[in-house]
């Protein structure tokens, strides 16, 4: 690898690292704010949730603005999942449905009409199918990229880890109760900050991945070769 290519790789990783540090810095800052201010920032429909929705919209915009039209069309499932993540932030997996699209009761409850069950089933089947297409087309390339330390794939990996953090910290006190672990209020409040700010980290890291997927190959192509 030439020095120029090495600088390109290092620069991509620096962007990923910087964005990751920014997310953790936001967690630290929000955790130190007075509780009324925390509640205002992290509330449903508040600034952080709104920014998360905007972030997913930005991801879709970056795909269609930066990527070649053929690439964006071929990898349409990324835009679909960004839209689905945004919809979930807006509780659109719950509000239009009696029990909730992702709840088993939506399909088993007698209180849900057959028509609604059918519509929910079609939507869920479409989501599952899209997910399987994404996994089939992208999994091995993603694994190879992570193994090589490629910046776009590392950004996606960190975004996925933020999803795991979000799922683990959502209702953490309730999840730990069966194990006889009781959290204090300070710990519950901190877990809530990590959950809500970490949710914003998901679209931020995906946006970085989309940008670097476009930018790094162009920087590498433009870099002067040092080969004799």
Does 226 reside within a domain? Answer: no
- Measured between alpha carbons, how far is 8 from 217 in angstroms, rounded to an integer? 9
Q: Name the pTM for this structure.
A: 0.89
Does 16 reside within a domain? Answer: yes
Does 125 reside within a domain? Answer: yes
| Cα 44–chain centre separation | 18
Does 214 reside within a domain? Answer: yes
Does 131 reside within a domain? Answer: yes
> How many domains does the structure of the chain reveal?
1
pLDDT digits (tens, 9 = 90+) for 5-38: 555 557 789 999 999 999 999 999 999 999 999 9
| Domain limits for position 130 | 3-221
Q: What is the pLDDT of residue 228?
A: 46
**What mean pLDDT is predicted for residues 67-94?**
94
**What mean pLDDT is predicted for residues 63-72?**
94
Does 227 reside within a domain? Answer: no
pLDDT digits (tens, 9 = 90+) for 104-125: 999 999 899 999 999 999 999 9
Q: What is the dihedral of CA 27, 47, 66, 4, to 10 degrees?
A: -20
Are 38 and 193 in contact by the 8 Å Cβ rule? The answer is yes
Q: What is the pLDDT of residue 227?
A: 47
Q: What is the pLDDT of residue 130?
A: 97
């Amino acid at each position: 690898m030439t020095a120029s290519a090495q600088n390109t790789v290092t620069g991509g990783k620096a962007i990923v690292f910087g964005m990751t540090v920014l997310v953790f810095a936001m967690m630290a800052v929000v955790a130190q704010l007075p509780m009324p201010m925390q509640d205002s920032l992290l509330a449903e429909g508040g600034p952080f949730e709104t920014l998360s929705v905007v972030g997913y919209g930005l991801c879709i915009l970056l795909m269609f603005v930066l990527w070649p039209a053929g690439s964006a069309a071929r990898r349409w499932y990324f835009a679909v999942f960004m839209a689905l993540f945004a919809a979930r932030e807006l509780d659109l997996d719950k509000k239009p449905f009696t029990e909730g699209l992702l709840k088993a009761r939506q399909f088993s409850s007698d209180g849900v009409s057959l028509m609604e069950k059918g519509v929910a089933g079609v939507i869920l089947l479409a989501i599952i199918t899209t997910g399987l297409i994404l996994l089939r087309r992208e999994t091995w390339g993603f694994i190879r990229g992570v193994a090589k330390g490629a910046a776009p794939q590392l950004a996606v990996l960190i975004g996925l880890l933020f999803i795991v953090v979000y799922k683990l910290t959502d209702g953490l006190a309730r999840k730990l109760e069966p194990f006889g672990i009781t959290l204090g209020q300070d710990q519950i409040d901190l877990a809530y900050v990590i959950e809500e700010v970490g949710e914003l980290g998901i679209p931020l890291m995906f946006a970085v991945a989309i940008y670097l997927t476009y930018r790094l190959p162009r920087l590498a192509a433009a870099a002067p070769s040092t080969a004799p």
